[in-house]
Amino acid sequence: MKNALKKIFLILRSFYYSLKYRLELGQGVKIKKILIRNNYNIKIGDFSFIDDFVILNAGSSAGKIIIGENSFIGAFSLLDGSGGLTIGNHVMIATHVRVVAANHNFDNINMPMKQQGLTTKGIMIENDVWIGTGAVILDGVKVGKGSVIAANSVVTKDVPDYSVVAGVPSKIIKKRQ
């Protein structure tokens, strides 16, 4: 009985978020306690699960976050889609992961960095990717299908399909076969 009530509560909470924040939610989406900022264009695919204290920030009206089907976003993660963030199907994102699709400009030393604006290229995470705890994925990166990002890695460049990357900055340490 207790598990059934938990499932019903998760479904009701997901429905509440979809109404309050105008999210597009697929069938069977489960959302725990999360923070949504700048909810202009956020879509979550069927049977995906968003764990506690995740922050979803679509940025400006030009930003977006699209999460595919059967994907998992771990607790305390930040997904910033200011430049566009697309996450494929069957993606596992562990806890405390930061994915930030924007970067501050800082070239002009005669102007405060805060006033120099942003560049936004976007981030694409393809299907069947596993991103380990504490990893950081920065703007302009494409993470290829079937790849693994090791815990606490900082991804600054594209990751080819079926690669395992680790380190700061991340480097390919092996290929999955």
Catalytic residue from among 33, 104, 174, 175: 104
Identify the pLDDT of residue 5.
Answer: 76
Q: Which CATH class is domain 2-168?
A: mainly beta
Higher pLDDT: 61 or 155? It is: 155
Tokens at 112, concatenated: 């405060």
Q: Whose structure tokens read 């963030």?
A: 85
Interval 76-97: pLDDT, tens: 999 999 999 999 999 999 999 9
- Whether 96 sits among the annotated catalytic residues: the reply is no
What is the average pLDDT across 43-71? 92
Amino acid at 115: Q
Interval 154-167: pLDDT, tens: 999 999 999 999 99
The pLDDT of residue 150 is above 90: yes
DSSP 115: G
3 state DSSP class of 19: helix
